[in-house]
């Protein structure tokens, strides 16, 4: 049989790797498939993939971005985009980036719009630090943020890690010296729209997240950070959060010293009274998820994770993230 375009692709890859593309006993007029039994890249021998029946199960990571291979099981050429194997443009109607393109989110000049955008472009994208720009039309600079890609499907933008207090208006710059999961990690979540909030207790490994019941998203930069809970409606619990309550959400920061409370992204139970950043309705029974309520030395010290927080608590390392 003749050489198909798929065989041509295999031959090209074989030539690029310094291999003889045709077996020694065959020529292009042979009835046998005129390709080598092995198609290797220029990678080290240990990563040379033979007869790629399950190429899409092989490791595709940033180290081999742009590598071209041939998927015999599906009879299509594929390439590694840094996270997963994808068919080349035009195969089965696929529209994908060029093989030598940088993965979305890998650099400031090729940011994702969000962690969800990055995951949509690479379903197997791992958790890690990525570049995003939620509003490129506003000529905003790209910035780095940790994307949590595994909890409940992933796409979480992790805003901060703390064991005490946080000022979400001003503490929003990523520092590589304080990576996600260590006290002091911060990222700029102010322009990211969200309708879900995630809390991670690093001591127990427990996670809880909450979904806004009403339509419409929240963008921190568009609020004054201290609107009453009634403006954000009721929220539904997931993970380890108690299902005995509906919940409410507050976005509080005392950077302008307008009140003494600034527990960050603050979730607590709805007990018939919508809270305000400076008035917690005397709620001493429902579960709270908050950072230090009055920045140390007061009646609402410490971090609350799934316990009542209308009281002084101890330090606890907790991370908070958001997604839409």
- Asked whether residue 102 is domain-assigned, the answer is no
pLDDT number for residue 17: 42
Segment-wise mean pLDDT, segments of 10 residues, the chain, 324 residues = 39 40 40 38 40 58 74 71 71 46 84 95 92 79 95 97 89 94 95 96 96 94 82 96 94 65 84 91 94 71 92 92 96
Please state, in angstroms and rounded to a whole number, the distance separating the CA atoms of residues 79 and 200.
36
Q: Do 174 and 266 reside in the same domain of the chain? A: yes
Does one domain contain both 79 and 119? Answer: no
Instruction: Say yes or no: 189 and 287 in one domain.
Output: yes
Domain membership of residue 106 (yes or no) is no
SS (H, E, C) the chain: CCCCHHHHHHHHHHHHCCCCCCCCCCCCCCCCCCCCCECCCCCCHHHCCECCCCHHHCCCCHHHCCCEEEECCCCEEEEECCCCEEECCCHHHCCCCCCCCCCCCCCCCCCECCHHHHHHHCCCCCCEEEEECCCHHHCCCCEEEEEECCHHHCCEEEEEEECCCCCCCCCCCCCCCCCCCCCCCECCCCCCCECEEEEEECCCCCEEEEEECCCCCECHHHCCCCCCHHHCCEEEEEECCCCCCCEEEEEECCCCCCCCCCCEEEEEECCCCCCECCECCCCCCCCEEECCCCCCCCCCCCCEEEECCCCCCCCCCEEEEEEC
Asked whether residue 108 is assigned to any structural domain, the reply reads no
Clarify whether residues 38 and 167 are in a common domain. Answer: no
Residues 272 and 168 occupy one common structural domain: yes
Q: Is residue 213 part of a domain?
A: yes
Examine the fold and report which residue of 59, 93, 127 is the final residue of a domain before the chain moves on.
93
Q: What is the pLDDT of residue 103?
A: 84
305 found inside a domain:
yes
Same domain, 39 and 184: no
63, 93, 123: which is the final residue of a domain?
93
155 and 239 within one domain: yes
Indicate if 149 and 88 belong to the same structural domain.
Answer: no
Q: Are residues 88 and 122 in the same domain?
A: no
Mark whether 202 and 278 lie in a shared domain.
yes
Regarding whether 148 and 292 lie in a shared domain, the answer is yes
In a shared domain, residues 73 and 215 = no
* First vs last C-alpha separation in the chain: 53
Domain final residue pick, 93, 128, 159: 93
What CA–CA distances, in Å, run from 59 to 2, 65, 216? 32, 11, 39
107 falls within a domain: no
CATH code for the domain in which residue 318 is found: 3.90.215
Question: How many angstroms separate the CA atoms of 93 and 76, rounded?
Answer: 12
Domain assignment present for 130: yes
Q: Is residue 146 part of a domain?
A: yes
- Number of domains composing the chain: 2
Alpha carbon separation from 60 to 55, 118, 233, 266, 290 (Å, rounded)? 9, 16, 43, 39, 39
> How far apart are the C-alpha atoms of 196 and 146, rounded to whole Å?
16
Range of the domain at 273: 115-323
């Amino acid at each position: 049989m003749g050489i198909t375009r798929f065989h041509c692709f295999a031959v090209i890859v074989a030539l690029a790797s310094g291999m003889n593309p045709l077996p020694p006993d065959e020529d292009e007029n042979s009835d046998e498939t005129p390709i080598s039994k092995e198609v290797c890249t220029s990678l080290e021998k240990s990563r040379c993939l033979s007869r790629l029946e399950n190429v899409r199960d092989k490791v595709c990571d940033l180290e081999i971005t742009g590598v071209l291979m041939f998927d015999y099981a599906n009879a299509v050429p594929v390439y590694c985009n840094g996270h997963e194997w994808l068919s080349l443009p035009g195969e089965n109607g696929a529209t994908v980036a060029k093989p030598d393109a940088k993965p979305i989110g890998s650099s400031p000049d090729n940011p994702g719009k969000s962690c969800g955008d990055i995951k949509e472009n690479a379903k197997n994208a791992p958790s890690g630090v990525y570049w995003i720009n939620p509003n490129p039309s506003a000529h905003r600079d790209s910035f780095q943020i940790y994307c949590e890609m595994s909890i409940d499907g992933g796409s979480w933008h992790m805003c901060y890690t703390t064991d005490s207090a946080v000022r979400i208006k001003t503490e929003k710059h990523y520092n590589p010296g304080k990576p996600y999961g260590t006290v002091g990690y911060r990222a700029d979540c102010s322009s990211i729209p969200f309708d879900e909030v995630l809390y991670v207790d690093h001591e127990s490994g427990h996670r809880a997240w909450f979904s806004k019941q009403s339509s419409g998203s929240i963008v921190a930069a568009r609020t004054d950070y201290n609107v009453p809970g009634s403006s954000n409606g009721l929220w539904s619990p997931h993970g380890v959060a108690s299902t005995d309550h509906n919940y409410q959400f507050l976005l509080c920061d005392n950077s302008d010293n307008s009140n003494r409370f600034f527990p960050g992204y603050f979730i607590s139970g709805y007990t018939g009274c919508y809270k305000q950043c400076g008035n917690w309705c005397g709620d001493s029974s429902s579960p709270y998820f908050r950072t230090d309520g009055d920045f140390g030395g007061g009646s609402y010290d410490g971090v609350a994770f799934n316990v009542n927080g209308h009281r002084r608590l101890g330090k606890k390392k907790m991370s908070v993230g958001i997604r839409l």
